[in-house]
């Protein structure tokens, strides 16, 4: 199925209002799919008035100044179905005044569109009889893996042929409501959170970030709600940790092990998002992965009573004063030791009781039980490369073979992050190792 063939978003001519900070403006628009991807509201020419000019020009100036104000569009389709567009922004803006048309031309991009095919009154207070489907481009998959969750049965399916163009690979995650009664306005947002975790975990089996773009909600088999979230096409960046022909292990991790508590306590979701980002150059890829690692370390440190090397009171009352006294004694014996140099060194003493970035990584790995003995010797070099790229804009190896060194350290960091992710998810089994040329290896557990 081609993405552009999904006929349930053929809305026809729509009428509605643009709403922003108490102001409103009537619009007539259609939904379009540009060749560059995504979705836009193509708006019919708007008569040029003081109200329309002031409102739209204010929004345009906000976009230009990076303030990027967001507004909403409320309206209905030609068939009478209610629709709502959230987090909308001006995509194009221009005036036809010079051509004698006395109109303003705009198009609108947005984060989410909701199309209500039944009145709100038909949404009951229970999720019984509901199911929801999440469609994403680029999603591969063989068979129909499934897993049971408190919200209901979760099943996935996707494209099986690598020769299919990526924009024609359409996969789906389905959640069929459990029998227990849950309020619909609680059940659906919870499904959104669950599926975001499912797609993040499935992304490890694809090498790129998966995000749902279309959602369909059914009541007893009848379509009642459609949501659209324009997303960019997935771009391959990393080798897959799992294989798309067997997604059951990844689905099990997402449904049974990837909890809200795990996300909050470890920062796993943000780290996975950084890890699956898109960058062209090796150094940029390295920095994205380093952001993932540093976020994990930062969240870990926030759960610990202290990040100091020794007790703060001991350092403040005894260690630091003695070190400062030694410095003062040395300064009195060295004529070239200036007062400003002494002051600078004494100020720097406070940093001695702060754990280094390298020590923070080691502490986190030990705490979570991540195996790293085989790559421990490379970790100081990984931190050094991070410092070089961040502070100098490039990495300078200590010897010839600089490109090989960049690739090696990037692979070490990728391997380390994969081990952290799988350990946090309590995975037990084999994975494709970035450090072993994607050879299938058993995850070592401490």
pLDDT digits (tens, 9 = 90+) for 273-317: 999 987 777 788 889 999 999 999 999 988 887 777 777 788 788
The rounded distance, in Å, linking the Cα atoms of 226 and 117 is 8
* Whether 96 and 214 share a structural domain: no
* Whether 264 and 246 share a structural domain: no
Nearby residues of 261 by Cβ (< 8 Å), 6 or more positions away: none
Domain extent, residue 319, equals: 312-353
How deeply is 266 buried, as exposed, middle or buried, from its count of CB atoms within 10 A (0-12, 13-18, 19+)? buried
Q: Give the number of other Cβ atoms within 10 Å of residue 360's Cβ.
A: 21
The rounded distance, in Å, linking the Cα atoms of 274 and 87 is 23
Q: Which of 68, 83, 116 is the last residue of a domain?
A: 116
Q: Which of 62, 91, 116 is the last residue of a domain?
A: 116
* Whether 89 and 146 share a structural domain: no
The rounded distance, in Å, linking the Cα atoms of 379 and 278 is 23
Q: Read off φ and ψ for residue 132, nearest 5 degrees.
A: -140, 140
* Whether 284 and 191 share a structural domain: no
* Whether 323 and 349 share a structural domain: yes
Q: What's the CA angle centered on 353, arms 300 and 299, to 5 degrees?
A: 10
* Short-list 118, 71, 91, CA closest to 31: 91
Residue 396, pLDDT score: 67
Residue 212, pLDDT score: 92
**Joined tokens for residue 225:** 């709600």
* Whether 245 and 264 share a structural domain: no
* Whether 319 and 389 share a structural domain: no
- Measured in whole angstroms, the distance separating CA 140 from the mean position of its chain's CA atoms is 19
* Whether 291 and 404 share a structural domain: yes
* Whether 127 and 192 share a structural domain: yes
Residue 198, pLDDT score: 96
* Whether 296 and 440 share a structural domain: yes
The rounded distance, in Å, linking the Cα atoms of 17 and 72 is 8
Q: Which of 353, 379, 408 is the last residue of a domain?
A: 353
The rounded distance, in Å, linking the Cα atoms of 304 and 296 is 13
The total domain count for the chain is: 4
What would the pLDDT profile of 15-66 be if each residue is shown by its tens digit?
999 998 888 999 999 988 777 667 889 999 998 888 888 888 888 776 666 6
* Whether 268 and 412 share a structural domain: yes
Residue ranges in the chain whose pLDDT is less than 50 = 1-5, 7
Residue 121, pLDDT score: 66
* Whether 148 and 286 share a structural domain: no
What's the whole-model pTM score? 0.84
* Short-list 365, 367, 392, CA closest to 379: 365
């Amino acid at each position: 199925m081609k993405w552009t063939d999904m006929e349930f978003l053929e809305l026809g001519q729509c009428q509605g209002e643009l709403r922003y900070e108490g102001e409103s403006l009537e619009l007539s628009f259609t939904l379009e799919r540009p060749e560059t991807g995504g979705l836009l509201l193509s708006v019919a020419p708007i008569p040029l008035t003081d109200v329309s000019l002031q409102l739209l020009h204010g929004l345009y100036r906000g976009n230009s100044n990076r303030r990027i104000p967001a507004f909403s569009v409320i309206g209905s389709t030609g068939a009478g179905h209610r629709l709502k567009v959230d987090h909308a922004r001006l995509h194009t803006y221009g005036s036809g005044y010079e051509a004698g048309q006395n109109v303003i031309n705009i198009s609108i991009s947005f984060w989410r569109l909701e199309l209500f095919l039944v009145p709100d009154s038909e949404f009951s207070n229970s999720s019984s009889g509901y199911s929801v489907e999440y469609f994403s481009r680029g999603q591969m998959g063989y068979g129909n893996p499934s897993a049971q969750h408190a919200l209901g049965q979760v099943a996935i399916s996707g494209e099986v042929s690598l020769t299919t163009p990526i924009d024609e690979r359409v996969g789906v995650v389905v959640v069929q409501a459990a029998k227990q009664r849950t309020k619909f306005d609680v059940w659906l947002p919870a499904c959104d959170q669950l599926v975001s975790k499912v797609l993040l975990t499935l992304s490890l089996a694809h090498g790129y970030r998966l995000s749902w773009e279309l959602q369909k909600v059914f009541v007893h088999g009848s379509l009642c709600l459609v949501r659209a979230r324009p997303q960019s096409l997935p771009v391959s960046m990393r080798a897959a940790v799992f294989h798309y022909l067997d997604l059951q292990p990844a689905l099990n991790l997402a449904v049974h092990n990837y909890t809200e508590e795990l996300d909050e306590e470890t920062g796993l979701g943000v780290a996975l998002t950084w890890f699956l980002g898109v960058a062209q150059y090796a150094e940029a890829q390295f920095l994205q992965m380093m952001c993932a690692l540093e976020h994990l370390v930062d969240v870990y440190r926030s759960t610990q009573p202290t990040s100091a090397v020794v007790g703060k009171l001991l350092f403040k009352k005894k260690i630091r004063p003695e070190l400062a006294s030694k410095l003062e004694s040395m300064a009195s014996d060295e004529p070239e030791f200036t007062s400003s140099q002494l002051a600078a060194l004494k100020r720097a003493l406070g940093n001695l009781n702060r754990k280094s970035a390298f020590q923070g990584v080691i502490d986190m790995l030990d705490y979570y039980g991540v195996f790293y003995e085989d790559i421990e010797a490379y970790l100081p070099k990984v931190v050094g490369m991070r410092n070089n790229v961040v502070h100098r804009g490039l990495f300078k190896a200590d010897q010839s073979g600089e490109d090989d060194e960049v690739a090696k350290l990037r692979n070490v960091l990728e391997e380390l992050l994969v081990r952290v992710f799988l350990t946090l998810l309590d995975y037990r089994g084999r994975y494709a190792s970035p450090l072993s040329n994607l050879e299938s290896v058993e995850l070592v557990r401490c």
